[in-house]
Structure 1
Amino acid sequence: MTEHVVIGVDSGGTSTRCAVVTRGGQVLAHGRAGGGNQYSSADPAGAFESVLRAALADAGDITVDAAVFGVSGASVGDATAVRTVTDAWKALGLPGTPYVTDDIAIAFAAGSAAEAGTVLVAGTGAVAAYVRDGAVARRCDGYGWLLGDEGSAVWIALAGLRAALASIDGRGRPTVLAERLAAALESTPGDTQSLVRAAYARPPAELGELAPDVAAAATDGDTVAREIVADAAERLLTNLATVAPDPLGADPVVFAGALLSAGPVADAVREGLRTRHGTTPRVAVDGALGAAGLALRRSGAPESVHARLLEPLGKASDPRAGGGLR
């Protein structure tokens, strides 16, 4: 018997994920491939075709009713992204035309089935946005490591490296970051030039891998690291408040990204939301499920079916259900 389904795709700089979901909200298959960012990934078109093939191979006898692609580096109707997605879609002989939006809107839909709300994404980079009807209506930051991404993992790592260098050369206060970041980068302890060479040898995105070392130092009580973590949390809270309607929390607030899943930054941002705005965030699940949820809505399915996809977190993280954050 042929199953009517929707397809959701969430594409980032390093990986692309796909979910095939029935009209009733049951996940039939998943797929995973390389990055699909329109500006930084090697082969976005190849990633889209690969991820679709992988998911469809396990989905069985299906008819696709709708599809939504959340594409990193794109926006609603972005001509390059639409062309790349459409070429991959047609190469597989799939019917109709997928809806293309950005991965920020998908992140919100992966945490809430509401039509509108606010999302804070903090991982390698950082951005806050107000999302309405599957598209970003307003955003703050997300400008990349050189010009922004304040409070992100890369931002924290750079702040930690600057503090470490200042500690070694005498400009700054003593901090265990000098030793910990030197060890993480396999540079010579106490040698500024060795630390500088090791840092510059890595692509900026990879420097974000040092953020857990800064967070761990903060948890262990290092004053300098604690100040960096507090500053990061404050910047993320400012960005969130900038894009949110007044009052913040009137619509759902969604957290997405590794930096907000656990640790001192996540704890500080949650506490700031609670004490300043009296709200508790939801946590995004797999972005492919968020994209599938939007596809369900676009195909005429009720909000409740989209919400069913998010139930692994669902009631436990929904402030309207009286629960706490996982």
Structure 2
Amino acid sequence: MTALVIGVDGGGTSTRCVVATVSGEVAGRGYGGGSNILSSADPGGSLRGALLAALAGLDPGEVTAGVFGLAGGDSARERTEAVAAEAWRAAGLPGRPSVVSDALAAFAGATAEASGAVLIAGTGAVAARIDDRRVTGRADGYGWLLGDEGSGTWIGRRAVRAVLASVDGRAAPTALLGCFGDAAEPAPSRSPEQAGPGPAAPGPLGSAGSAPSAPSAPSAQEIVRLVHAGIAESGPAWLARLAPAVEAAARDGDAAATAILDEAARRLAATVGALGPVSGPLVLAGSLLTEPTLLAGKVRAGLAGTVVTARDSAAGAAALALHAAGAGAVPDPLAAHRRLIG
């Protein structure tokens, strides 16, 4: 019998699950839709699906510990823990998982160091100070309605506002209007296996991520209808689907898109700066900061010290489970941690 641990990384767009042995080898992986309690349409279903996929062919009775790193959990702790526990039971797993901030899982997935800081910008946005593998300070991460400044959802909201201001004459024309070509319904998202941790799924632009060659000019009312319909169907995380369009328009020199990214970078820098001086590396996580985006370049330009790019937050959550399982179950948690995150 080989003892196993489980790590889950759940964000607004996708959920990833890793099953690992106590020596640090990956035994299974699974994926699901978004599981942010504050913005995803079906968090419990996404967690359950990712767990079941990762456990395929494995014995759930061999699992000794589990850690869920979930976005939005700090703002709705009781509900998040209840949803996580229900998904755990539905997968036939013994005991209960621990629920931690997605920031802690992202940090542990990038480094085996015990202390430092992490800045996440994907569907949501948050910064956290890490001391001895515990979150001891945080800034933002308050959800799409009250915070997450500089996130994909924040960028999407700003893009919609810029388009509406352009359509009704309050602002100059912007290429972002192409997002709403014929005011048609948004294209289907990619599969969870492809979606990644941030706003990578295509929206109204289509799979190519660029505006149609000859879009019609929708009215402001049609745009409002489309946005509300998208949010009603997929949750507020739907707005983050517009972030790649803002990136593309800014690369083409669109003034409105460039201004949105400049402001997003300033807000993200302010978020991590609010933590004050930290010892250890700063981990950048979330697709807006780990992929070669304009926003990532703008944010990095204002950072000092050792900056590390996040790799696998689900593996990071599994590594936290290795440490939580204790020396009796895991002979060398630090060595297993390093092996697991590569």
Query: TM-score w.r.t. structure 2 length?
Result: 0.76
Instruction: Look up the match of 1:307.
Output: 338
2: CA distance, partners of 1:50 / 1:97? 17
The residue number in structure 2 matching 1:182 is 180
Matched, 1:211 2:243: yes
Distance 1:68 1:46 in 2: 17
| Aligned residue type for 2:179 | L
AA at the equivalent of 2:224: V
Q: Which runs of 5+ in 1 are unaligned?
A: 312-326
Deviation at 1:154?
2.2
Q: How far off is 1:33 after superposition?
A: 3.7
Offset from partner CA, 1:33-75 (integer Å, 9 cap, x none)? 4544445556655554544343333336983332212233324
- 1:1-326 correspondence runs (5 A): 2-38=1-37, 44=43, 47-59=46-58, 63-75=62-74, 78-89=77-88, 94-178=93-177, 180-183=178-181, 185-186=183-184, 188-189=216-217, 191-203=219-231, 204-243=236-275, 245-246=276-277, 250-260=279-289, 261-273=291-303, 277=304, 279-299=305-325, 300=327, 301-311=332-342
Q: Using the alignment, how far apart are the partners of 2:230 and 2:42 within structure 1?
A: 22
Mark the CA change 1:5 to 1:190 in structure 2 (over 3 Å): closer, same or farther: closer
Query: How far apart are residue 234 of structure 1 and its match?
Result: 0.9
1:183–1:5 distance in 2 versus 1, CA, 3 Å: same
Distance in 1 between residues matched to 2:282 and 2:264, nearest whole Å = 18
**Structure 1 residues 210, 305: CA separation in 2 closer, same or farther (over 3 Å shift)?**
same
Q: Kindly provide the amino acid, as one letter, of the partner of residue 251 in structure 2.
A: T
Task: Return closer, same or farther for 1:128/1:306 CA change in 2, 3 Å cut-off.
Answer: same
Q: Is the contact made by 1:188 and 1:194 (CA closer than 8 Å) also made in structure 2?
A: no
- The 2-side partners of 1:257 and 1:133 are apart by 22
Question: Secondary structure of the equivalent of 1:66?
Answer: strand
Aligned partner letter, 1:150: E
Deviation at 1:290, TM superposition (A): 0.8
Distance 1:77 1:40 in 2: 11
- For 1:200, the aligned partner's letter is H
Instruction: Find the aligned partners of 1:40 and 1:207 in 2 and give their Cα distance.
Output: 10
Displacement after TM superposition at 1:171 (Å): 2.7
Distance 2:95 2:219 in 1: 60
Over 3 Å counting, the alpha-carbon distance change for 1:108 and 1:310 in structure 2 is same
* CA deviation vs aligned residue, 1:257-286 (integer Å, no higher than 9, x gap): 12112211111111221xxx2x35322223
Residue deviations 1:229-272 (CA, integer Å, cap 9, x gap):
111111101101112x41x5x32111221211221111111122
Question: Please, which moves more after superposition, 151-160 or 91-100?
Answer: 91-100
Give the % identical residues: 46
CA contact (8 A) 2:16 2:314 kept: yes
1:144 Cα offset (Å): 2.3
Contact 1:127 1:141 in 2 (8 A): yes
More displaced 10-residue stretch of structure 1: 47-56 or 258-267: 47-56
> Cα 1:57–1:182, aligned 2, differ >3 Å: closer, same or farther?
closer
CA distance in 1, matches of 2:77, 2:28: 27
**Matched AA of 1:254:** V
8 Å Cα contact 1:36-1:47 kept in structure 2: yes
CA distance in 1, matches of 2:176, 2:71: 32
Q: Secondary structure at the match of 2:55?
A: helix
Give the C-alpha shift of residue 109 in structure 1.
1.5
**Retained in 2: the 8 A contact 1:76–1:135?**
no
State the distance in 1 between where 2:311 and 2:274 align.
24
Q: Alpha carbons of 1:177 and 1:30: their partners in 2 closer, same or farther (altered >3 Å)?
A: closer
Counterpart residue identity of residue 173, structure 1: A
Structure 2: unaligned runs, 5 residues or longer: 185-214
Distance 1:280 1:265, change over 3 A: farther
The corresponding residue for 2:198 is none
In the alignment, the residues of structure 1 paired with residue 228 and residue 92 of structure 2 have an alpha-carbon distance, to the nearest angstrom, of: 45
Amino acid at match of 1:266: A
Please give the alpha-carbon distance, in whole angstroms, between the structure 2 residues aligned to 1:61 and 1:142: 33
Q: CA deviation at 1:94?
A: 4.2
